[in-house]
Structure 1
């Protein structure tokens, strides 16, 4: 069940609040691979709805892989061709190479960021949330998506597991529907921007080198964040013994003075969007 409630946590920003979107999950916790899939789907949604990629992320990945396979096939010596067929072959090869070049920087950026996220999830025992920022810089973003995840403590499994669970699909669909209902991505296209990813973890954790601590992370108070809380079913009334508070009442914004000392870690990889009118066929 999706519900909206008021919230005063801004993930570093202030200004008018949109309220907190709550996505209820009928499970005690999400596995690493499930958290990864949900974040990936939300990331793809943000990029597509804000016109930073020409098609939904899954189609974009599939089409790019097909282009690379086609290019590999075309690098093999062709059979003896008539001059007219050879010209057509060369033209087609140049077109495929051009389409790959047009998409390569974007796809490499997406791949690097997602791989870094998988590695980070595999190396930490817990994660409290992620934030997706779209804009020219972290301090002056255009859009902010602050996503709290609970229960975000992992016991086993890897983020790199290829099997996609029904729970992961259900949660990602539910979260995207909640964002759509709130009007996410409905604002005018503002041109190519960068997407930044940060994860919220205890400052004592040693994340991979792809993530850098941002202890005093703040962004412009003029930005109104869209906040979401993905709540697992067993957290109601559950006491977090490590932090000494009920998980459901744990603040979504923390500071150095908090008992848990939770801070943001920024992924050094960013995704640079391409012009909204671009397409794989272009």
Structure 2
């Protein structure tokens, strides 16, 4: 990617000014390595943070998932109404059924988009021995984003575990909390609502890896110079110091370093699934 000039301004309503000059955020993981499921949980939490803080979803992701699951369960239970109801109770029943159906319809596309993207990420993590990092891009397109979150992960090679493991470890919770606190401390998401946007996910891996079909190689990836990414480095204790220093190089600097064998082997893969936020900031705040 092309680096943004230090004196340039952001696009109208864009994220350049918010993220400019923030420097590199470092988050220390109190372990020698992160498992696939732990990397997945951290990325999911950061993705949910980005969507919520930029007013793309009405509540934090976990609450939204729980609410949607409850609505689906309630609708299933309401498929067969009680045999006998008083007229007043029947009206209440019908009204509630319409409300539940309407809320499901409003959120279904969003929730399906989130679920599909996260499932693709799990599959990618399960099929590669290691990843260098992820980038979350919010905006109308990849080349003209509003906000960019560039997250480097120094975790070593994955073990034999799966990203689909349901057990949530204390390490994953700790790293997620530290990462979100660090972003909040730098004012991430503090700008006004810019309307519903798309969230794009890219994963940084060696170009020789066979990624799932849901991920497309983006070797010559570039975006607008007006946007400076907010960079975060999640570090594990056992990561090699020299590799860490190289991994600190931003996504914006990588194309300039193709002469180095370490970086020339690494490219971005874009998930073909995106998440489109819900419109209506006012309704979120009610």
* TM surpasses 0.5: yes
Structure-to-structure mapping, 1:170-249, within 5 angstroms: 170-237=174-241, 246-249=242-245
What is the CA-CA distance between 1:155 and the residue it aligns to? 2.0
What is the CA-CA distance between 1:279 and the residue it aligns to? 4.8
Structure-to-structure mapping, 1:12-161, within 5 angstroms: 12-16=2-6, 17-161=21-165
What is the CA-CA distance between 1:91 and the residue it aligns to? 1.4
Q: Give the structure 1 partner of residue 283 of structure 2.
A: 278
Does structure 2 conserve the Cα–Cα contact (< 8 Å) formed by 1:27 and 1:232? Answer: yes
SS at match of 1:250: helix
Does structure 2 conserve the Cα–Cα contact (< 8 Å) formed by 1:18 and 1:225? Answer: no
Q: What is the alpha-carbon distance in structure 1 between the residues aligned to residue 145 and residue 74 of structure 2? A: 38
Q: What is the alpha-carbon distance in structure 2 between the residues aligned to residue 84 and residue 26 of structure 1? A: 59
Q: What is the alpha-carbon distance in structure 2 between the residues aligned to residue 14 and residue 141 of structure 1? A: 13
Q: What is the alpha-carbon distance in structure 1 between the residues aligned to residue 79 and residue 156 of structure 2? A: 46
Does structure 1 conserve the Cα–Cα contact (< 8 Å) formed by 2:215 and 2:270? Answer: yes
Does structure 2 conserve the Cα–Cα contact (< 8 Å) formed by 1:128 and 1:152? Answer: no
Q: What is the alpha-carbon distance in structure 2 between the residues aligned to residue 278 and residue 67 of structure 1? A: 18
The 3 A distance-change label for structure 1 pair 105 and 278 is farther
Gaps of 5+ in 1: 1-10, 238-245
Structure-to-structure mapping, 1:263-274, within 5 angstroms: 263-274=267-278
Q: Deviations over 1:155-178 (max 9, x none)?
A: 220000000000000000000111
Q: Deviations over 1:129-172 (max 9, x none)?
A: 00000000000000000000002421220000000000000000
What is the CA-CA distance between 1:13 and the residue it aligns to? 3.8
What is the CA-CA distance between 1:198 and the residue it aligns to? 0.3
TM-score (normalised: structure 1): 0.89
Q: Give the structure 2 partner of residue 259 of structure 1.
A: 261
Q: What is the alpha-carbon distance in structure 2 between the residues aligned to residue 148 and residue 213 of structure 1? A: 18
What is the CA-CA distance between 1:18 and the residue it aligns to? 2.8
Q: What is the alpha-carbon distance in structure 2 between the residues aligned to residue 272 and residue 152 of structure 1? A: 32
Which structure dedicates a bigger proportion of its chain to helix?
A: 2
SS at match of 2:78: helix
User: Which stretches of structure 1, 4 residues or more, deviate above 4 A after TM superposition?
Assistant: none
Q: Deviations over 1:161-216 (max 9, x none)?
A: 00000000000000011111111111111111110000000011111111100010
Q: Give the structure 1 partner of residue 246 of structure 2.
A: 250
Q: What is the alpha-carbon distance in structure 1 between the residues aligned to residue 229 and residue 274 of structure 2? A: 19
SS at match of 2:92: helix
Gaps of 5+ in 2: 7-20
The 3 A distance-change label for structure 1 pair 72 and 13 is farther
Does structure 1 conserve the Cα–Cα contact (< 8 Å) formed by 2:156 and 2:239? Answer: no
